[in-house]
Chains A and B, each alone.
Chain A
Amino acid sequence: METVVFTLNQESRSVTTEPGRTLLDVLREDLGATGTKYGCGEGSCRSCVVLMDGRPVTTCQTPIAKANGKDIVTIEGLADGDTLHPVQAAFIAEGAMQCGYCVPGMVLTAVALLKANPKPTEAQINEFMNGNLCRCCNYPNIVRAIQRAAGTAEGVAK
């Protein structure tokens, strides 16, 4: 057993568990943070992305020990109280969700993109987001949502 201490959505958490477990499983099964989704178990779909010290990581590929001492933000911790993060609001406005299962990973990856590059071109959005899968293939609306959040397009919401 291993004890790991980290900050989860601004709260300090301590977990004692088998070292073979992933951060994804601990978040979902032990800490109730089920907004972080399993999609592939190998880092190919990024449904399980959280922000770790501000950077997007695939939690299905992160052994729990690697979370020690880190500051972790999951989708549950992104909004400021009842005020949605601009990326979250833009996803709703542009209808950038069909089944919605990929949305937490999409939103958090987009937050990381806009932090690194506040005014990305469409090509830069596609490049940065290409690891995130949406099987509903709602990519056009997701791009529009990121553009809306970045203020680089009016969006097409009618």
Chain B
Amino acid sequence: MKIEPQPFEPERYEFVEPPRYRFSVSRRAFVQSVGAGLLISGFVDFSAFGQQRGGDDETPAIGGRFHIGKDGRITAFTGKVEVGQGARTQLTQAAAEELCVPIAQIDLVMADTGLVPNDGGTYGSLTTSRTVPAMRQAAVATRELLIELACKAWAVSTDGASMRDGVIEHANGKKMTLAELAAGAENIAGTLQDRSAEGGALTAVEAWQTLGKTVAPVNGPSVVTGKHRYTSDIRREGMLYGKVLRPPAYGAELTDVDMKAAEAMDGVVVVRDGAFVGCAAPTSYLAQQALNALASTAKWTTKPHPASDELFAYLKSNTREGTGRQRSREEASGDVDAALAASKNVVRAEYHIPYIQHAPMEPRAAVAEFDGNKLTVWTGTQRPFDVQREVAEALGLSASNVRLIVPDTGGGFGGKHSGDAAVEAARLAQAAKRPVAVHWTREEEFTWAYFRPAGVMEIAAALDGDGRVTAWDFTNFNSGGSGLGCPYAFGNVRTRFWNCESPLRQGSYRALASTANHFARESFIDLLAAKAGADPVAFRLQYLEEPRLKAVLEAAAAKFDYAGKRMQASANTGYGIACGTEKGSFVATCAEVAVDAVAKTYIIKRVCVAYECGAIHNPQNLQAQVEGCVVQGLGAVLHEAMKFKDGKILYTRFKEYEVPRFKDVPPFDIVLLNRPDLPSVGAGETPIIAIAPAVANAILHATGAAVNALPIRLA
């Protein structure tokens, strides 16, 4: 198969798995829709997705963004979700900044498709770069309108009028609170609805009162008191607890199940619709009893499935064309083959990363409730409007009859793009004619949630007689194109991505494939530097062109005293560095690693990170995101790899699949480079990309042996 040279696009969204179930009702709807000439938009319909996000929704009339209550409280609306990245606080800050009101005067409604504009999914670090500006723009227009209304009431010109701390003031000494304004205004909602968000000037960074400052999480009080209702905490009148019969292995198909014993249980509802078998009961305990009864009678056919032990060879021998952003593709400049052929010193290496799970603390959950043919679903997803459509299509409803609400959710990390639990709860609720909650167990989450893709990275590079790099050839199998572009000016550069037949369901992850591609590239750079006899920092700086990337590299090296430590390193200690850029921000990470060559173990003694994402919105949350990224990235270094055999996922518990704990956290130094002169970009992903290669390079330094796989195990 030939792959066409095509430019790499920034990846926003990688989930391309087909729906898990085809319900009888949705098959009918599918046929009807196609007959009527309508496009059924599945997961891979990027065109409709793009149009939707790029449409009018993101910049609605200000009535779509704000509501002013009679009590003077402001309700703001966004389609973004809160999954722990801090969007709720950040967007509240953004609104408060431009409205000139205290943060406490604003309530933010997020991700309720019945109420909010479609700001696109919450991924790709787009909240900061796109939604914050949209929120600020609407807030400016709203503030100007409120000032106009007050001046109209006072019968004065708006010259000399302003707003501060939620109070409209005039140079003539008059003052009016929003409550007073709202009480006097005839139709404030209608007036907001008529006004465009366009036009007004955003507050300059130097003048920020609320943005740029540490703001404690606005939902903090409800979180620490247990009052916040995550999806799994939603309780509805008459609600049942649902369970779904899972196959015993990947690829297994149900041939028979006896539902009688489960149906005979008091209060239990059982559903079979094609491959879907589920039950619902007044308690989760009873639902589990019913599920056990179903599982004991279920008969399945299984088929061969590749094992994790043979995964990397399997991926390389199962490439395919792929579609959309996932298509196999290649980008090249110069003549890589000629440069490789001309070199006497070609360095080659292959890197492996396994499937890993997001394992959010809140497993997938949903509550579905019908009122006639109208359906309301609460679920934790990063793509509320897409999952609204997913649920509607699965059940054969029109999207306008489905309201999807995303309560602030217990973790996502790119793992909650799909609506699995929402579809399951909706199908059960349809059958039970009562609200149904589906709460995935940890075992289900480990087994049936989609994975961060595994991948193979092959790199070849040519050095000339002076130790200069003359060719760079990088191929990624399966894990994705993010971070594939080479930031080093090597002259002849080729990058390839091969879409592969994936044995496991796979999708997005924090920073997508950038974790894989940076691990491989930055580890290989140190190998090249060693072959060239160069210092790894100087070697990088020789080829880096982007000043912001150089700046973080130099800042991390300086704070860590990289040069000094490398010189005085003891026998069993290594110092590594790595850097990279993704989604418009820049990171460099240093690691000190102590190696026990006899026991084949290592300890990460210290980590230093320099990070830059433009103008900083909330220093405390930024620091937390950077620390969280690095420690989550350490999980992939130290522990995480999914094992599977005969279609069975072998690690289904935290006792088997280890994730970072308190004791895994090394001492940290963080340097946050603030660039008030540059636009702010999102910081919830990029800081994860450089920790693994920094540790790998420290081990190379300590032992002289290259690291070629995650998690890192010493040979």
Contacts and interface: CB of A to CB of B under 8 A. Distances in A.
A114 interface: no
B217 A92 contact: yes
A35 B226 contact: yes
B362 A143 contact: no
B284 A137 contact: no
B382 interface: no
A137 B631 contact: yes
Given A103-B224, A126-B662, 15 more contacts: A18-B283, A37-B410, A45-B654, A88-B225, A98-B628, A99-B84, A99-B410, A99-B412, A100-B223, A130-B663, A131-B661, A136-B411, A136-B632, A138-B628, A139-B627
5 A-B pairs with the lowest CB-CB distances in the bound complex, closest first: A35-B226, A99-B84, A101-B410, A75-B226, A137-B631
B676 interface: no
A120 interface: no
Contacts of A99: 82-84, 360-362, 408-412
Contacts of A153: none
Interface stretch (B17-25, B230-238, B388-396, B418-426): B230-238
B533 interface: no
B622 to A, nearest CB: 10
Nearest to A29: B283
Contact of A130 (B216, B226, B441, B661): B661
B704 interface: no
Interface in B460-506: none
Interface in A115-133: 125-127, 129-133
Contact of A133 (B226, B228, B627, B661): B661
Contacts of B232: 34, 37-38
A137 B627 contact: yes
A100 B407 CA distance: 12
Could you tell me the dominant secondary structure of chain A's interface residues? loop
B221 A84 contact: yes
A138 B624 contact: yes
Contacts of B443: 41
Contact of A39 (B84, B226, B409, B442): B442
Which size class do B's interface residues fall under?
35 or more
A21 B288 CA distance: 11
B108 to A, nearest CB: 15
9 contacts: A34-B232, A35-B225, A37-B361, A38-B363, A76-B227, A88-B224, A91-B223, A136-B628, A139-B661
A64 B709 CA distance: 45
B624 A34 contact: no
Contacts of B363: 38-39
B90 to A, nearest CB: 12
A101 B663 CA distance: 20
Interface of A: 18, 20-21, 25, 28-30, 32-42, 44-45, 47, 74-76, 78-79, 84, 88-89, 91-95, 97-104, 107, 125-127, 129-143, 156-158
Contacts of B214: 95, 157-158
A25 B620 contact: no
B241 interface: yes
Nearest to B445: A40
Contacts of A100: 84, 217, 219, 223, 228, 408, 410
Question: Which of A91, A94, A135 has the most chain B CB atoms closer than 10 A to its own CB?
Answer: A135
A56 to B, nearest CB: 15
Contacts of B409: 99
Contacts of A131: 661
Nearest to B239: A29
B619 interface: yes
A132 B662 contact: yes
Interface of B: 82-86, 214, 216-217, 219-221, 223-230, 232-233, 235, 241, 283-286, 358-363, 408-413, 439, 441-443, 619-621, 623-625, 627-632, 634-635, 653-655, 659-663, 665, 668
A98 B632 CA distance: 13
A95 B216 contact: yes
A29 B241 contact: yes
Given A79-B225, A133-B361, A158-B619, A25 B284 contact: yes
A73 B82 CA distance: 28
A58 to B, nearest CB: 12
B653 A40 contact: yes
Contact of B662 (A84, A88, A125, A157): A125
Nearest to B661: A130
A147 to B, nearest CB: 13
Given A37-B361, A135-B411, A136-B411, A127 B631 contact: no
A104 B227 CA distance: 10
Given A38-B439, A42-B654, A29 B85 contact: no
Given A92-B221, A98-B628, A99-B360, A139 B665 contact: yes
A137 B640 CA distance: 14
Contacts of B84: 98-100, 136
A76 B226 contact: yes
A84 B411 contact: no
Question: Which of B84, B227, B630 has the most chain A CB atoms closer than 10 A to its own CB?
Answer: B84
B227 A135 contact: no
A62 to B, nearest CB: 14
B662 A130 contact: yes
Question: Which of B362, B441, B632 has the most chain A CB atoms closer than 10 A to its own CB?
Answer: B362
Given A84-B225, A140-B665, A40 B624 contact: no
A137 B660 contact: yes
Contacts of B619: 158
A101 B628 contact: no
Nearest to B415: A135
A136 to B, nearest CB: 5
Nearest to B632: A137
A42 B654 CA distance: 9
Contact of A40 (B226, B358, B442): B442
Given A36-B226, A99-B411, A133-B661, A141 B627 contact: yes
Contact of A127 (B220, B655, B663): B663
A79 B220 CA distance: 14
Contacts of B408: 99-100
Contacts of A44: 653-655
Contact of B442 (A21, A41, A89): A41
A25 B235 contact: no
Nearest to B226: A35
Contacts of A158: 214, 619-620
A143 B663 CA distance: 11
Given A36-B226, A98-B84, A101-B361, A139 B283 contact: no
A66 B285 CA distance: 17
A158 B235 CA distance: 38
Contacts of B441: 41
A27 to B, nearest CB: 11
Contacts of B235: 32, 34
Contacts of A157: 214, 216, 620
Nearest to B626: A140
B411 A21 contact: no
A95 B217 CA distance: 6
A137 B653 CA distance: 18
Contacts of A91: 220, 223-224
B687 to A, nearest CB: 11
A140 B361 CA distance: 18
B413 A135 contact: yes
Contacts of B621: 95
A59 to B, nearest CB: 13
Nearest to A128: B662
Nearest to B224: A88
Given A100-B408, A137-B628, A25 B226 contact: no
